[in-house]
Amino acid sequence: MSMDIESPVHQIDLKELVLSNGSFGPHEIEQIRSTIASDYAQFSVLRDLAGELEATEERSPATSVRLGVGLFLLGRYHRACEVLSNADGGAVSHYYRGKSLFYLEKYSEAVEAYEQAKRAGYDSGFCDVAIAEAKRYNKEPEDALKILDELYGPIEQTAEYLYQRAATVAAVGSNPSEVVALYERAVELEPEHAGALFGLALENDRRGNDEKALELYAKSAASFPSHVGALLNLGVLYEDHNQFERAQRCFERILDVHPAHPEARLYFRDVVAAGGATVDPWEEREKEKMAQILKVPVTDFELSVRSRNCLQKMNIRTIGDLTHVSEAELLASKNFGETSLIEIREMLSTKGVGIGQFAHEKRTDEEVDISDVPEDQRAMLERPIADLNLSVRARKCMNRLTMSTLGELCRKTQDDLLECKNFGVTSLNEVREKLEQLGLKLRGE
């Protein structure tokens, strides 16, 4: 029996689906999903197309819907929520904002978004099923079951309804035979339903039907978006059968969408080691991805005028610059307050990085790079700034800029210091005079 997760390729132009000005709704989204399920190489195509939409200077509300849904499919849920919140306010944007909130484990907010989607015209049955799922995950299985009990009509004959009912009955802890029957009916209706296949695989796994469980895990993993549990279990089974490359692909699929998934990262490392690899390809890809993120200019983001001006004065041009400066240094800048700090934090979170994440690397570089300081004076650079006996105002500026040694001070320009709150020309002249007494200067003087 084959245990691969590949499927035949559907010849659909993703670029046309994502970038065109045609209609964009559940049918088109299903085409995107099925295209990637059939040929996982299309995942990177979708990622590139989303990047192209992100780079669009003036996106229309309709374009924001396409981008938001694309970001959701890519697993970038925070950014998807942000984009969809500023989209056209239509049914699709509310529904996929709800799905993004669900994956962020913000279940109550997801329920509100689904309710908005229903009011905006999205299929009410699917919205109610999604609400039931959110309540189940929010540890309210009885309420979820009540919602499902009250549904009737065509929605009852959909695979999604049957899957959610099976999972909810299982969560309530009653009638295991009904759970299996519901999963089986769901798979009969939709043979590629990831959740139903995974649920059925788990039930067979528990009953010791290993071959059947393996077959079902593989079918579930072949879908897109794949069920994470199916990929994890399938990867472990591949590893048990010494099929390390297939196992690695399973864990890579998870990490493509959930880069910080702890179990997937752990299993990935294990399978790479077991397969005899000397270089971890995931780590290499992550390094390359991070290098690209750090090059992104801050002008690509819609920041307030105050934040933009402050960053410009501090000569902060890229995301990389922000990861090499501390929050204290930002707050030390004139006209830069908590509101700007929160704005920058949120902006960086969309890229998976944080303020000052690599600040320690910057400080190391600054301590080593002292080429513009005369050699006979370098011994002084390790001395504390306190040795200068500065005034209270000047001393507070040094603290705000998180400087403690003369070497760190000598790496600053006069503009760097003047940008600090409550630091003026008088304090600057004081610092210059104290440094000159030791034969030292600020950078650029």
Euclidean distance between CA atoms 127 and 111, whole angstroms: 9
pLDDT of residue 285: 63
Residue 343 shares a structural domain with residue 387: no
Whether residue 190 is predicted with pLDDT greater than 90 in this model: the reply is yes
Structural domain contains residue 249: no
Count of structural domains within the chain:
3
Distances (CA, A) of 330 to 116, 135, 311: 39, 41, 8
Residue 422 shares a structural domain with residue 310: no
Residue 316 shares a structural domain with residue 401: no
pLDDT of residue 93: 96
What lies within 8 Å, CB to CB, of 301 at 6+ separation is 347
Residue 117 shares a structural domain with residue 3: yes
Residue 5 shares a structural domain with residue 114: yes
Distances (CA, A) of 21 to 15, 17, 73, 290, 321: 11, 9, 20, 32, 37
Structural domain contains residue 445: no
Residue 100 shares a structural domain with residue 23: yes
Last residue of a domain, one of 122, 141, 175: 122
Structural domain contains residue 179: no
Structural domain contains residue 444: no
Residue 327 shares a structural domain with residue 400: no
Residue 348 shares a structural domain with residue 376: no
pLDDT digits (tens, 9 = 90+) for 320-338: 888 888 887 787 776 777 8
Query: Coil, strand, or helix at residue 113?
Result: helix
Residue 334 shares a structural domain with residue 430: no
pLDDT of residue 121: 95
Q: Which residues of 295-328 are buried (b: 16+ CB within 10 A; e: fewer)?
A: eeebeebebeeebebbbebbebebbbbbbbbbbe
Structural domain contains residue 141: no
What CATH number corresponds to the domain at position 426? Answer: 1.10.150.20
Structural domain contains residue 348: yes
pLDDT digits (tens, 9 = 90+) for 392-402: 888 877 777 77
pLDDT digits (tens, 9 = 90+) for 57-95: 778 899 999 999 999 999 889 889 999 998 988 999 999
Domain membership of residue 307 as a residue range: 298-359
Pick from 121-130, 291-300, 354-363 the range whose average pLDDT is largest: 121-130
432 burial via Cβ count (<10 Å: 0-12, 13-18, 19+): middle
37 burial via Cβ count (<10 Å: 0-12, 13-18, 19+): buried
What does the mean pLDDT of the chain come to? 83
- CB-based contact 218:209 (threshold 8 Å): no
Structural domain contains residue 342: yes
Residue 342 shares a structural domain with residue 381: no
Euclidean distance between CA atoms 306 and 103, whole angstroms: 33
What CATH number corresponds to the domain at position 67? Answer: 1.25.40
Last residue of a domain, one of 339, 359, 379: 359
Residue 2 shares a structural domain with residue 103: yes
- CB-based contact 280:255 (threshold 8 Å): no
Residue 339 backbone phi and psi in degrees, to 5: -60, -45
- Predicted confidence band of residue 246 (pLDDT cuts 50, 70, 90): confident
> What is the identity of the amino acid at 42?
Q
Residue 397 shares a structural domain with residue 418: yes
Structural domain contains residue 111: yes
Euclidean distance between CA atoms 38 and 170, whole angstroms: 31
Euclidean distance between CA atoms 337 and 324, whole angstroms: 19
- CB-based contact 241:218 (threshold 8 Å): no
Euclidean distance between CA atoms 195 and 168, whole angstroms: 12
Query: Coil, strand, or helix at residue 128?
Result: helix
- CB-based contact 132:159 (threshold 8 Å): no
Read off the tokens for 331.
Answer: 């707050």
Q: What percent of the chain has pLDDT over 90?
A: 30
Last residue of a domain, one of 100, 122, 144: 122
Q: For the ranges 42-46, 65-69, 276-280, which has the lowest average pLDDT?
A: 276-280
